[in-house]
Amino acid sequence: MKNVLMLLLTLCAAQMPGQAQNAKNLTQAIQYIKLANTLREVDKSQESISLLQRAMPAVKSKNLYWEAITNELMGLSFKDIKDTTSALRYLELARSQYAKLKYVASGWAVNEVIRDISSKNVYAGIQVGAAGVKVAIFKTRYESDFYEKDIRSSFTIPTEVLVADASKSFKGGQDALRIGLDSIRRYNIPNERIFIVFNSDVNEGLTRSPESKLALYRQLMRVIPNGAVQIDTTLTPTREAQLFTVGAIPRKVWPTTSALNIGSANTMGGYFDKEASRKDINQVDKGFHALALPVGVNTLVNQIDSKRSLGMDAYKREAQRVVDNLANTDLKARLKEAGAGLQNHQTVGVGGDVALALVTYLYPDRANVAAVAITTEDVERFKRLALTDYKALIQPDLADVTNPDVRSKAEKDVIALQNQFNEKQLIAGALWLEAIMKAYNTGSEPKRFVFVRNSDIGWVTGKFLETISGEYESTIAKGNLYTR
């Protein structure tokens, strides 16, 4: 069908009056411009450029609005064919012309494209957790119904940030935050693109001690020059689940896709009502339905073997008992609260290190794939190996991974997971993932589960998307052109 459409468009272009000649007037120029825009949509960007060049003489210095549109489309067409220098030249012309016209929304949008092409649209997040400070610096683009992240840097600094020293100073947390900020500064990221939060576990823990929370906040703020970036201390499990869902699941697929993240201390996610996908991203709170349980890999291990005294055989039996009990009580109750809305979302975007371990160990050849389908058979195999052949599971055969980039990524992922998960943690995670998938599939058509790579930093993407949406609205309201 697409090939037929391309043929028809090409024939139409060939039959236009004055073939290969410049537009004679504004009306004909607009016809060229409109057709050029359509040609871009069917991967005919070079033909689009030719038409726009023929349209330009009829609008240049004669109609600033259509000249700006022509320059914008020229820039986008050159972007399509990877001619960055030409793309930036035309887009910068369009931006300045929209500014003269005071079309600030158009100028803002073009500026975002310029930032993206210039590799300036990088953003960063720092999440302060009870056991460490996680730093992520990256770009995001939409790919195959999920976001593909271009990670510039991502690391965790282990530190007991909630533990003050003898002088009541949170020096460990301050040092970790300083390291994170120093890393971010190398990328010249504006303050509006830097997000720092206390995660929900920290916030809930500090709620019981408001004095400690205030002291931690004040001492961490001292590390931030001139208080240029604020620390968000308001994250609840529901809010964190919402940010994760916004950042992991593009709004285009909100009507059909829910989110699920299995972390170290909790399991969270949720879904948006179908109507929410048509609203501004900052006005969808009432359309979001959260799923949040205080059950994660580490909390499961603590519940299974609180005294760290069980032998492996006894641990496996107790792990199955504990997970079955949680699935039949807490998990069942939360899914019932979520109601039919959750069941109506046929795809589940899954994040977290347990899902990462499954994909890394079972499918190392997919190390560079942003979204990987997970079947019930995959989970059964993953659980069986975790219970019966742990060493074989964590040492996958990479001989068949012939692409050197993929192999290098797979090797790094395997090493990272081997250092992160011990046998008991992996068993608990595998059993919990299986229980969740079974619970989601109860009483409904089998769901499509898809592992979303790098979704552990989805909350940063959520904050970023909310921010640029807010910038767009405020730019229009103030009549200013945001060009940072």
Query: Rounded mean pLDDT of 165-172?
Result: 70
Q: What is the pLDDT of residue 280?
A: 62
Residues 68 and 174: their CA atoms lie apart, in Å, by 48
In what helix (H) or strand (E) does residue 69 lie, and over which residues does it extend?
helix 64-80
At residue 272, φ and ψ (nearest 5 deg) are: -105, 145
Rounded to two decimals, the pTM is 0.77
Does 237-462 match 123-235 at the fold level?
A: yes
The CATH class of the 237-462 domain is alpha beta
Three-state DSSP string of 295-339 = CCHHHHHHHHCCCCCCCHHHHHHHHHHHHHHHHHHHHHHHHHHHC
DSSP assignment of 131-176 equals SEEEEEEEEEEEETTEEEEEEEEEEEEE--TT---TTS--HHHHHH
For the stretch 379-405, pLDDT in tens is 999 999 999 999 999 999 999 999 999
Beta-sheet pairing, 231-232 with 257-262:
unpaired
Domain ranges of the chain: 2-117, 123-235, 237-462
Q: Mean pLDDT check: name the lowest of 124-128, 249-253, 379-383, 423-427.
A: 249-253
Distance of CA 410 to the CA centre of its chain: 21
Q: Is the pLDDT of residue 16 over 70?
A: no
Q: What is the DSSP letter of 103?
A: -
Q: What is the DSSP letter of 18?
A: S
Residues 40 and 51: their CA atoms lie apart, in Å, by 11
For the stretch 221-265, pLDDT in tens is 999 988 889 999 988 888 999 999 988 998 889 999 999 999 888
Contact 458, 268 (CB under 8 A): no
When the candidates are 1.25.40.10, 3.40.190.10, 1.10.1200.10, 3.40.50.12710, the CATH number that belongs to 2-117 is: 1.25.40.10
Higher pLDDT, 124 or 171: 124
Looking at domain 123-235, its CATH superfamily turns out to be ATPase, nucleotide binding domain (3.30.420.40)
